[in-house]
Structures are given as structure tokens and as C-alpha cells.
Amino acid sequence: MIPRYSPEDISAIWTEEAKFQRWLQLEIAAVEARMEAGFVPEEALQTITEKARFKVDEILEIEKETKHDVIAFLTNVAGYVGPQSRYIHEGLTSSDVVDTCLAMQMRDAGKIILADIENLVAVLAKRAVEFKYTLEMGRTHGIHAEPTTFGLKLLLWHQEMLRNLDRMKKAVVTISVGKISGAVGTYQHLSPKIEAAVCRKLGLEPSSISTQILQRDRHAEFATTLAIIASSIEKFSVELRHLQRTEVREAEEFFSKGQKGSSAMPHKRNPITFERLTGLARVVRSNSIAAMENVALWHERDISHSSVERIIMPDSTIAVCYMLRTFSDSLETLLVYPERMEENFNSSYGLTTSQTLLLALTGKGLTREDAYRMVQRNAMESWSKKIHLRDLVLQDEEILQHVTPEEIAGLFSFENILGKLRASVDTIFERNGL
């Protein structure tokens, strides 16, 4: 991921230095496990532990000749260790190192992402409670529907992120698996006990079965979970972009002092952060497709997945980390305009009470078809003539045969609408633990 979207802590997991450090940690753990099993002299382990090190630039220089990164790494380490290096990588294959250490990197990145999700959940909960009763027009197909509250919108997102938290926890468990089973996974020169011991030292579970590689359905689950998280953030961002439109302007991205919105138009205050998050979600989703393409490999292994994972795993974890933190910060500072929400609510001439009126008429014994016809007739006239629906209904002799003017006034009463909505909001918030 380019530096512009790369938080330092999660990016540090994916550096060449960090990768080779994990490789070295695994190789030493394997020597230690084999020493404990009686296959390596204790003094050899001591020498390896004391002397084993590497230099990234030297590894890269060696790789120019070997065309093999693991061999280049081992050659570099051996140069520092000396003759006792013969015990390093004994019985292992390259994928034992690469796959197991990739699992460590994904696990460590996943833990950072889990903490970021938990932070976003907390921000959503706080702001949902803040706007619990803030009346807002609910929209379906982009058209005024019935009243809701801005707090309910945020509560909905809060619950979605809790589901994402559960998904990510499971994905981290799924990927926290190592394999030290050698070429094609048959332990020809090792043993399941050695594998279990090495994995334990690295904080991983041993795979119950593998080929020369860990199976890529694990990686696909991890990548698609990241894609779902990114898609949720995009969903929230798209909604806030809509709400910032000039014609709506119910919420607005914070605009800092000295910030500029357009090189040409000084008046512009654009939702650039939410647009940026929308774009990054496309990258993460695209990467998840590549991860699923990696599931089907030839026989016990090929390396068509390798080049893909060198790109998509760092990029997707870093991007999602950035997205979570950026959206959390933007939500914390989001400007919300309740007065504008009320103006928009009142701009559709009471039409959003149409269902309430419809149900009142069917409650008087009318068929749904007849009641719908009466209400729709007035609703269409209300919109075309910009007359409040209540005023038209009070002049409709057919409707007045079934409901009184007092009942109509009650149906359209703002206090009545708010009262019913508050009761529903209380129930929904309580049901969701806030």
C-alpha cells in the first residue's frame, strides 16, 4: 500500500525486515524443537541462537543469483552462524517457512484490525445515543418514506460492525495455523510432534493436514472478511455523502481551518474523506477476488498464489486498518444538522403520513384497495400542487364519511408522530443493548 494510506504500526508487520525476522524466529524454533526431541546438539542451538542474524540488503543481493528468496535468506544466515548452520532448515521446505510466517503476519495484522473495529463500535455507540431521538426523514429509493431518527441509522451501523467484529475474530482464528510438515506435507523428514512444538512456540495451531502449503481457503476467508468490512465502511460513507449533498445537507464532514475544497471554487466543502473510503473499498474487494482465485492450485502445490499474496495481504490489511481509523475519526467529528433534518421532513407536505391515514381508513372497515385509492388520489394532488396532505384530506368528502376532522388532525399531529417514534426507538435501542 502506498504511504498515503499506510498507518505505521500495521505497515511495520509487512516490511522485508519484519518478514525475515519471523523467518528467523521460525527457523530457530524448529532447531529448538528438534534439539528437545534429541536430533540437535544443545551447543548447536546455543551457537545458532547467539549468532543467527541477517541483513536485508545482503539477502536481496544473494537472491539476484539464486532467484529464490528462502535460499537467499538461509545463505545469508549461514554466513553469520558458520558450520552449525547445517541444523537450520533441516527437514523443512520453503513453504514451511513462508506459509507459517505469512500466517503470523496475517494474525498480527488481524489483531490490530480487531482493535480498530472495537474502537469504531464504541464511536458508533456513543453517537447513536447522542442522536437517539433526532428526527430524520427515512428514505427508500432516495424518496421520502416515513420518519426515522439519525440515532437509529447509527445504531444499525453499530450492529453491522459488531457482526464484522465476530467475522474478523473467526478469520483470525482460521488463519492462525502453521505447517512444518515438509515437502507435500507427509513429514518425511520431520514429525507431527516437531510441527506442534514449533507452532506452539510461534503462537499458532498446527494444521491438521496440509500439502506442501497451507490450503488457501483460509486465506480467502481472511481476505473476504476484510472485503466485507471495507464494504460496510463504504456503505456508511456513501450514506453520509448523500446526506452532505447541497439539497439535503443533514450531515457534513468536518472541514478544518485552512482546508480547501476546490482549486477552482472557493465555496466548496466536499465529502472527500468518505469518497476516499468508497474508493479504497473497491481495492479491498478486488483483492478478495484474487484470494479466491488462489484456492485452486495444481496438485500438492504450485506458486501461482505467491505473487498475488505478496501484494494483496499487505495492501488489504493496511487499507482496512486505514479505513477503520479514518472513518472512526470522521464520525467523531461529523457535523450533524437536526434543524435541516426537520426542514427536510416538513418539505414533503405531510405525504409521509399516507400509510398512517391508510391504516386508519381500513380500521374503519374499508377495503385496503378503496382506502389506498382515496389516499393516493390526495397524495398525488398534494405533491403536484404543493398543498399539505392534511388540508386536502380535510376537504375530501369521501374520506370524511369514515374519519372525523379531529381524528385526521391527530393522525397528522407532529407530537403524535414523535411520540410513536420515540417508543419504537426506545424498544430498538434496548433490544440492541444501548
Q: Which three cell numbers stand for residue 49?
A: 541462537
Residue pair 62/119 in contact (Cβ under 8 Å)? The answer is: no
Give yes or no for a contact between 252 and 150, defined as CB atoms under 8 angstroms apart. Answer: no
CA distance to 40, 62, 129, 285, 323, per residue, from 282 (Å): 50, 37, 31, 5, 12
Q: How far apart are CA 76 and CA 58, in angstroms?
A: 7
Distance between CA atoms of 101 and 21, rounded to whole angstroms? 9
Whether residue 229 contacts residue 320, with contact meaning beta carbons closer than 8 Å, is answered with yes
Contacts of 305 (CB under 8 A, 6+ apart): 213, 216, 219, 294, 297
For residue 202, give the C-alpha cell: 510461534
CA–CA separation, 320 and 287 (whole Å):
12
**Residues designated as active site:** 141, 262
3-state DSSP assignment of residue 251: strand
Position 30, amino acid: A
CA 421 → CA 131, 186, 250, 409, 424, distances in Å?
13, 64, 19, 18, 5
Euclidean distance between CA atoms 308 and 318, whole angstroms: 16
How far is Cα 429 from Cα 138, in angstroms, rounded to an integer? 17
Please say whether the dihedral angle defined by the alpha carbons of residues 13, 18, 22 and 23, taken in this order, is positive or negative.
Answer: positive
C-alpha span between 164 and 346 (Å, rounded):
36
Read off φ and ψ for residue 251, nearest 5 degrees: -150, 160
Helix (H, G, I), strand (E, B) or coil at 191: coil
